[in-house]
Amino acid sequence: TIRTSAGEHRASRAVVCAGAWVGRVLPGVVPNWVERQVQFWFRARRPEEFAPGRAPIFIRKRGGRDLYGFPTLDGQTVKVAAHHGGAKADPDRLDRQVHEADRERVSDFVRDSIRGLDPDPVRSKVCMYTNSPDGDFVIGAVPGHSRLTVLGGMSGHGFKFATVMGEIAADLATDGETRHPIEPFGPERFPTPD
């Protein structure tokens, strides 16, 4: 039985995929923490040099941090951001303001490492990463509740796996098993709190 503000719902199986709130929905099942992340878009001086098929998706270590980026998707700007290293955050009280320190870190990287981009961002967005203790997804039956499936700990990149995650969730909800090798991602790998 699932109780929501819209009423009560009954089902023989359920899937919980609550993103940054999974630890609140299933306390003690998916140990996780939420990390504040800021993404930036920089204007390309010659956008054709950053077009898909010409410019790669990249990740580079710099000063103990990973910075990543994508080819232009709008024909004008290139997305660049730090991967991890953000402050722990409460998903209900996320600081959505972009601070000078957020911008400076990524702008310095662009200035020093990516020729052809204006180092002053034209756009930014604050988002969240949801992290499990080992950095891997949490996929499978909730320990002690075989009819309840959890998909969590997917950081800021779970959406890239949406099609296969949807298939896995549907398999587990309808059949209780899946053909996909999800054993390494089971929630039982984490000790339950006392």
3-state helix, strand and coil shares in percent for the chain, rounded to the nearest 5: 25, 35, 40
Q: Say which residue the tokens 């549907």 belong to.
A: 170
Q: Is 187 helix (H, G, I), strand (E, B) or coil?
A: helix
| Residue 176, pLDDT score | 87
Q: Is 47 helix (H, G, I), strand (E, B) or coil?
A: helix
| Residue 194, pLDDT score | 55
pTM: 0.83
| Residue 70, pLDDT score | 93
Alpha-carbon distance 86 to 63, whole Å?
15
Alpha-carbon distance 152 to 136, whole Å?
9
| Residue 116, pLDDT score | 95
Walk along the chain (194 residues) and give the pLDDT tens digit of each residue: 888 899 999 999 999 999 899 988 888 887 889 999 999 999 999 999 999 999 999 999 877 788 999 999 999 999 999 988 889 999 999 999 999 999 999 999 999 999 999 999 999 999 999 999 898 999 999 988 888 999 988 877 777 888 999 999 999 999 889 999 999 999 999 886 65
Alpha-carbon distance 49 to 69, whole Å?
14
Alpha-carbon distance 115 to 45, whole Å?
9
First and final CA of the chain: distance in angstroms? Answer: 26
